[in-house]
Structures are given as C-alpha cells and as structure tokens.
Amino acid sequence: RKEVEQDPGPFNVPEGATVAFNCTYSNSASQSFFWYRQDCRKEPKLLMSVYSSGNEDGRFTAQLNRASQYISLLIRDSKLSDSATYLCVVRDDYKLSFGAGTTVTVRA
C-alpha cells in the first residue's frame, strides 16, 4: 500500500467552478501535512500547509481528518491559472512522502 494515495484525476472544470479532492495517508503518526503544486514539467512548490483545525489561503481551503487519515483541498472560483497537478505531502520525522498528484484542468 502506498503511503500517500491520491485520485489522479484529471478534474476538468469550467472557470469559476469549485473543485475538491482528497488524499489518504497510511501512517497514523504522521506529523505534518502539505499541498504542493506542480506545473507541467516544473518543480513542485508549496501551496499551503494543512493544519488540524483546517485553514484557508484565499480561494484555497485545506482540511485534515486525522481519524480517517485524509486531507482535502478545495479550490473556489477556479481560475485558468489553477490548472496544475496538486501533490499531497505527508511528513514523518525527517521524511516527506508524496502522493502521485491530482491533475486539475480549468477551462475557459
């Protein structure tokens, strides 16, 4: 079983739509959680950390459910520039474990 699993998508949504997706992780002792964004053929970049109480950053909302061991990301009012692959990342001690990514395509 992979340590971090994501629905690969793709999620194809029109501009202005809301899109949400989850990832699950296997280690209940994982300490920190993140969403990274990766544009085609480029390096991953931190989008946001995920806190236990849930957190927002503009149009992006992240939630953590420790009991069920999943993390979610919701994007409101999607923009064309949100088209990317979103990587779910879990930290155990020093080690980051990456999901394979969820691809989102926003169309005009």
Helix (H) or strand (E) holding 47: strand 45-50
Q: Are strands 102-107 and 11-14 parallel, antiparallel or unpaired?
A: parallel
Strand partners, 22: 72
**Residue placing its CB nearer to other proteins in the complex, 11 or 33:** 33
Contact (Cβ atoms closer than 8 angstroms) between residue 30 and residue 24: no
**Residue placing its CB nearer to other proteins in the complex, 83 or 97:** 97
CA 12 to chain centre: 16
Chain residues that interact with other proteins, rule: CB under 8 A: 2, 4, 31-32, 34, 41-46, 87, 91, 93-101
User: Residue 46 Cβ, how far from other proteins at the closest point, in Å?
Assistant: 5
**Residue placing its CB nearer to other proteins in the complex, 78 or 85:** 85
Nearest-angstrom CA–CA distance, 9 and 23: 12
User: Residue 76 Cβ, how far from other proteins at the closest point, in Å?
Assistant: 24
**Residue placing its CB nearer to other proteins in the complex, 18 or 32:** 32
User: Residue 98 Cβ, how far from other proteins at the closest point, in Å?
Assistant: 3
